Amino acid sequence: ASYAIGADFYVWGPLAIAGLVTLLLQLAQNPAFSSYLRRSTLAQWLPPLLTLLGVTLLFWWVPNRKVKIRNALAGAAVATIALHGLQIGFSAYVRLFTDASRVVYGSFAIAFFFMISVQIAWWLVLVGCEVTACLELEREHALPAAAAEPAPPAPRGLDTAD
């Protein structure tokens, strides 16, 4: 039964995502819907929120140990913010430097920088994993409240070592 659930997750999950992306691309080509997408606040916040949800679930379900959802959410927030910054930076690069780099390198320049951005994106996901793991280890290795407080000093005059 667990194999069927895993197979469903790995097969139907990417297919559902690809279907939704295809549907949104088709709707974006419709002039009435594309103007709505440009004006919609939900359309601007939905991709980062879905990324946050997906990365949180990734950091929560994938490890081979129990992870608190709070720690997974914190690591996912770090990764999502960094990935969004990478997306803005890559789009700025494509807007600003595409013409100049095409003259020198042709279309290989965009492919090269796309591959570099994919590599950086995976590094950022790993940074989010590290944040989640550090929070989990901090929780796991935290001292009890009584042991964390230092012992009160002995009263003066009762020291027998002198």
Cα separation, 128 vs 90, whole angstroms: 20
pLDDT confidence of residue 127: 95
pLDDT confidence of residue 143: 54
Q: Is 63 helix (H, G, I), strand (E, B) or coil?
A: coil
pLDDT confidence of residue 71: 94
The DSSP secondary-structure symbol of 67 reads: -
pLDDT confidence of residue 34: 74
Give the confidence band of 35 by pLDDT, cuts at 50, 70, 90: confident
Write the pLDDT tens digit of every residue in 60-95: 888 888 899 999 999 999 999 999 999 888 888 777
pLDDT confidence of residue 128: 94
Write the pLDDT tens digit of every residue in 111-153: 788 888 889 999 999 999 999 999 998 877 775 655 556 666 6
**97 token code pair:** 């430097």
For residues 41 and 112, is the Cβ–Cβ distance under 8 A?
A: no
Burial of 71 from C-beta contacts in 10 A (0-12 / 13-18 / 19+):
buried
